[in-house]
Amino acid sequence: MHTVLEQVQKFIERLSPEPVCDDCIAERLEFGVQLHANHETRELAGSGGFERRNDACSLCGSHKLVIRKRSR
């Protein structure tokens, strides 16, 4: 069983380098509340190639805070 952090990390890595918002992460991973995704993306930001910034989400198209993993 994967932790919530591991689930979020793997989801972002699958979409890499495309950015994704917390709302789409929560919806796609069926968390029920966006708060779970927000907590995990804040934890990932700034480490291991993950970065948060204002941009368009690759899934919903909304311009807001997103996270992505830079491609190598």
Higher-pLDDT residue of 1, 22: 22
Residue 72's pLDDT band, with cuts at 50, 70 and 90, is low
Residue 11: predicted pLDDT: 97
Question: Count of CB atoms within 10 A of residue 68's CB?
Answer: 21
Q: What's the pTM value of the predicted model, to 2 decimals?
A: 0.91
Higher-pLDDT residue of 33, 65: 65
Could you tell me which residues come within 8 angstroms of residue 59 by beta carbon, excluding any fewer than 6 positions away? 15, 20, 21, 24, 28
Tell me if 36 sits within 8 A of 48, measured CB to CB: no
Residue 31: predicted pLDDT: 87
pLDDT digits (tens, 9 = 90+) for 13-52: 999 999 999 999 999 999 877 777 899 999 999 999 999 9
Run of H or E including 44:
helix 34-44
